[in-house]
Amino acid sequence: MNSENKVVLVTGGGHGLGKEIARAFLAAGFRVSICGRNQSRLDECRKELETIAGPDAVCVTQADVSDQDDVRRLVSSTLEKFGQIDVLVNNAAVLGPLGSVESLDLKNWLKTIEINLCGTVLMSKEVIPHFKSRKQGRIINLSGGGATIGRPNFSAYAASKAAVVRFTETLAQELADHGITVNVVAPGALNTEMLDNTLAAGVDVVGDKAFKQCSEQKQTGGDPLEPPCQLCIFLTSDNASKITGRLISAKWDNWHALAQHADELVDTDIYTLRRITPQDRGLVW
């Protein structure tokens, strides 16, 4: 996919990683549409993005990805301004309630699922007909801590992100014959608002291990924001046209070399979620 005149829609683009992803795509020559729930943040972000590429390359819409009417309005406003959408980056997410499961408010727990998982589903559902009509499109979802391992005291976030990974694999198979790829990016341990919220919750809520890890991350600066941004851009390139249904780590995976192994990747379960059996560990039970 050539970036010239292409359009990327980034949810949760008003701050943090979403804003950096939007900036990276603008710098790469894309036109960018972003959304968020906080209008003041969006206004500030608009100013920043327009200094990079001008107002004609930027579309900003206040929208909640868990609200179907908002999602429809967001996609419509993007199409109205740009006439097309080529890439969807489902970045919008919340950390959700923290603490042991029995201590959590179910309403807040379910709201996390609505935003992180259902928001990803709603956004994908809304752009798929447009992608199918053009016989091309890229959907990039965002993973997070707890998607592949247990994460005590972060059950809402972990469950939602694990579900996003499985949704990615499933949707990729559904869309394989339509020229549409679907992948999920694990961005790394980033120093964003979620980290601050974790530290603010305190050690008694998140536990000794998580609090210590987050405190050290805060002090050291965390993982850089650039690698996940560049991985998202790579997944829109022609070199990534055969890569779909994969969970790729911006930090740990040698994704720069994936284009050389695309044919091998297609026929394997590499970068997917799978059940581990005794035989996988050299055991016979």
Q: Could you give the strand order of the β-sheet that contains 31-36, starting from the edge strand earlier in sequence?
A: 58-62, 31-36, 7-10, 87-90, 137-142, 180-186, 247-249
How many CB atoms are closer than 10 A to CB 196? 13
Q: In whole angstroms, give the CA distance from residue 19 to residue 124.
A: 20
Phi, psi (rounded to 5 degrees) for 231 = -65, -40
Q: How far is CA 222 from CA 118, 159, 188, 198, 215, in A?
A: 28, 23, 8, 14, 10
- Give the amino acid at 163: A
Active site residue 271: no
Q: How far from the centroid of its chain's Cα atoms is residue 112's Cα?
A: 15
Active-site choice (25, 131, 154, 157): 157
Q: In whole angstroms, give the CA distance from residue 170 to residue 246.
A: 10
Residue with tokens 């650039």: 226
Catalytic residues: 157
